[in-house]
Amino acid sequence: METVGYTRRDFLKKVGLGAASLAVPGCAGGAQRVSPKASTDKPNFIIIFTDDQGYQDVGCFGSPNINTPNLDRMAAEGMKFTDFYVAASICSPSRAALLTGCYPPRVSITKVLFPRDSIGLNPKEVTIADILKAQGYATACVGKWHLGHLPQFLPMQQGFDSYYGIPYSNDMRIKRGDKSGPPLMRNEDIIEHPAEQATLTQRYTEESIKFITENKNRPFFLYLPHTMPHVPLFVSEKFKGKSKRGLYGDVIEEIDWSVGRILKTLKELGIDEKTLVLFTSDNGPWLGKKHHGGSALPLRDGKFTTYEGGMREPTIMRWPGEIPEGKVCGEVCGTIDLLPTFARLAGAEPPADRVIDGKDIWPLISGRPRAKSPHKAFFYYRGNKLEAVRSGRWKLHRKKKTALYDLEIDISEKNNLAAGHPKIVKRLTGVMEKFDRELKANARPPGRAAEKNQS
């Protein structure tokens, strides 16, 4: 399916925005897209996306020593998803998948992007923000972007009205004068260098609340990808030394505070029952003694791997009156499903000219009786290599040797059952090979800059 010639202008025309609606002069970067009149009956969406947080690092997912009362309350008032996956176990590919609804190799973002890179998420891709903006939504990205730091790849070229945050991971840096470190940006401008990281979580929270408050009378989409708990870890003085889990626990407890502030704001503004809030992480924890010690237990391994600890994430969704309270969903679903699901809820459709890997999971989210995963198979990519597939209870892993796990009884992937189930191994091997061939035959190119950034 050829998509190289498909532009954002084409997409906006399809959803009812003419060329005259695309830009007004005098805004940041030379132009800013404007939306049609907003409909007041559309739900708001908030995605809170942490960085390198482990499956166990939330109280309601089993943490023995991290206090997360706001997330626990969110789960009690909404739904926990125990088999919810990101599409990569590293930062940039995971974020590309969330925003586009596609496995990372399909959009050619398969590695972590660095300040030296001249590629990014192709602006020809259609993101969640693009779809919602065309439906009259206000859209904002607050936090870590990490899908290309050059101007043509930043959030305002990917469907967001505004951006506030750092453009890549907090251990990456640029040198400006005698200072070095990650910059803090507003839209396309560096406003602080290096960013004062100890206050980032608090400032992201205040920026988010400001956006929510300013747009309380229209539908909005807030994408809040936190910088933390990626290393190096930073926390404000208010939370320093408070957690039994040490600095890592302090960081998570400050993020929990942030969640509480946002939920409180929604209630105070009277828009709580109009807003779907989702909390999850971009991938599993960065393990090892020299790192921060997040926990993916009882899952195996963590970041960088295609074992469950790298890609199955602690996930909570809340929408009073629409998502049933105190429920648990154990069906396979993930971040690639958010684009088609949010599109449906906003009265839109995913782009029809290209493959979208995600599925509409509203039946699962809304707690429909006997609702099942729409995925006959879920695929685990590491870079451009397909290493594993899950189909129902079975997971076939083919990194160094063929391994078959029954995840219903072996969530920790300890017992290789491949020798006893050759037919299942053969079937899932065929499923993997067929899907990988088709995906790579239809992969779309990344965005490429003419010159590398010389910051």
- The residues that are catalytic are 91, 146
Alpha-carbon gap, residue 155 to 174, rounded angstroms = 19
Token pair for 234: 């930073």
DSSP result, 74-131: HHHTSEEETTEE-S-SSHHHHHHHHHHTS-GGGGT--S---TT--EES-TTSPPHHHH
Alpha-carbon gap, residue 27 to 211, rounded angstroms = 18
Question: Can you tell me which residue has the tokens 């309601």?
Answer: 60
Token pair for 356: 């979208």
Alpha-carbon gap, residue 57 to 312, rounded angstroms = 13
List all residues 6 or more positions away from 166 whose beta carbon is below 8 Å from its beta carbon: 143, 144, 145, 182, 183, 184, 185, 195, 200, 227
Alpha-carbon gap, residue 265 to 269, rounded angstroms = 6
219, with CB counted inside 10 A (0-12, 13-18, 19+), is: buried
Torsion of the alpha carbons at 362, 92, 28 and 130, rounded to the nearest 10: -20
CA distances from 264 to 40, 205, 438 (A): 21, 12, 46
Ramachandran region, residue 11 (left: φ > 0; alpha: ψ -120 to 50; beta: rest): alpha
Amino acid at 5: G
Long-range contacts at 174-177 (CB < 8 A, ≥ 24 apart): 174/115, 174/455, 175/455, 176/455
Nearest Cα to Cα of residue 324 among 144, 103, 61, 77:
77
